Amino acid sequence: MQVKDGLRIVGLGHYVPDNTVTNDDLSKIVDTNDEWIATRTGIRKRHFVTTERNQDMAIAAAKMAIKDAGIDPLEIGACIVATIRPDNMTPAVACMVQKEVGLPTEIPCFDINAACSGFMYGVRVMRGMLMQSDKRYGLVIGSETLSKVLNMEDRGTCILFGDGAGAAVIELSDDHRYFSILGTKGDDEVLVCPNDGDRFVRMNGQEVFKFAVSTAPDTINQILDMAGLSADDIDHYVCHQANLRIISSVAKKCKQSIDKFYVNLDEYGNTSSASIPIALSEMKQKGLLKSGDKVVCAGFGGGLTWCGAYFEI
Ligand code: COA
């Protein structure tokens, strides 16, 4: 039984499909244009799967994270995949990760669904599980094939989303503080993706926008209170990559320079539960995450759900 209070991200990885779809590509399918999409969202392109399954992306991201951590897969004590669109109702994506990555068989591996907040939900659940595990590390993945649930005749939604996966290996730590906030306000009107009949994403964009620009700054302020820090103390903010106007509004409300907010939605669009771990993995690859850095993450999405977390690198 481990009783450490904090948590450390030991390894990060991500995978996005090679196939890119630009705003110009979409303008050939639906009545839109690059200027409208870029101005209203900041998105320039997104990556859509061709032959990849959700599990293929999750496995690739997991292998990269484990390599980055420099650990043996057999040291992992649990695997959680956050996704709204698993390949199968069963087996869970996490079960296929166990098989293909070579995780131990005597550990729990399962999927969770908290939409775009899923990865941060997964980290918090994993923390609790590691406290009862005799293994040191946990593997948390966000992986989404959202292109499969996009109505390519609905210009209000099909331009926003992309496919990809991000993964993190975490361990409990006494030297790295961790605080998190998870929230839920059940609503099946503002943002819905049914799993029978019309299985496409439906959304009231303006309502989601209003929800995001009020919830994310509130969550960040609550996290800062928990950590006993001011907004200026934070080195990096990593928001869910949904819309550049949302991230700019959050930066403004937190009185922080937009430069402290990592942005990659221009390249990937909104990859739901994968967006925060893809961003963290890219930041590490680019050498942006330095030992001792303080990171605040904030997300929001279907459910409605929201999430925030404070990490120390
Ligand atoms: N291309 C061109 N025009 C479009 C368009 C597109 N892709 N999508 C909508 N429009 C049109 C609308 O039909 C509307 O036309 P009208 O004025 O003639 O009726 C006009 O643009 C304005 O639409 P509106 O919905 O008011 O735009 P908006 O400024 O709210 O931007 C979103 C729409 C979806 C970009 C924005 O609301 C948003 O990003 N919301 C948050 C969504 C989100 O993050 N979802 C995921 C959460 S995890």
Residue 197: predicted pLDDT: 74
pLDDT in tens, 81-90: 999 999 999 9
Whether 78 shows a pLDDT value over 90: the answer reads yes
DSSP string, 129-197: HHTT-SSSEEEEEEEE-GGGG--TT-TTTTTTB--EEEEEEEEEESSS--EEEEEE---SSSEE--SSS
Whether 293 shows a pLDDT value over 80: the answer reads yes
Work out the average pLDDT over 80-108.
Answer: 97
Work out the average pLDDT over 198-202.
Answer: 90
Q: C-alpha 91: how far from its chain's center?
A: 22
pLDDT in tens, 111-126: 999 999 999 999 999 9
Q: In the structure encoding, which two tokens stand for residue 287, read together?
A: 């050498």
Q: C-alpha 146: how far from its chain's center?
A: 13
Which residue has the CA at smallest separation from atom 23 of ligand 1?
156
Distances (CA, A) of 161 to 4, 156, 238, 283, 307: 37, 11, 18, 21, 19
- Band (5; pLDDT cuts 50, 70, 90): confident
Catalytic hit among 47, 270, 297, 307 = 270
CA 109/CA 312 separation, integer angstroms:
26
Roughly what angle, to the nearest 10 degrees, separates helices 244-253 and 34-41? 20
Active site residue 270: yes
Whether residue 127 contacts residue 311, with contact meaning beta carbons closer than 8 Å, is answered with no
- Band (198; pLDDT cuts 50, 70, 90): confident
Three-state DSSP at 6 gives strand
Gap from CA of 131 to ligand 1 centroid (Å)? 44
pLDDT in tens, 109-166: 999 999 999 999 999 999 999 999 999 999 999 999 999 999 999 999 999 999 999 9
Gap from CA of 222 to ligand 1 centroid (Å)? 30
Work out the average pLDDT over 197-204.
Answer: 90
User: Which residues does ligand 1 sit against, CB inside 6 Å?
Assistant: 32, 36-37, 40-41, 116, 155-156, 159-160, 203, 205-206, 208-209, 242-243, 270, 301
Q: Write down the pTM of the prediction.
A: 0.97
Which residue has the CA at smallest separation from atom 46 of ligand 1?
242
Active site residue 95: no
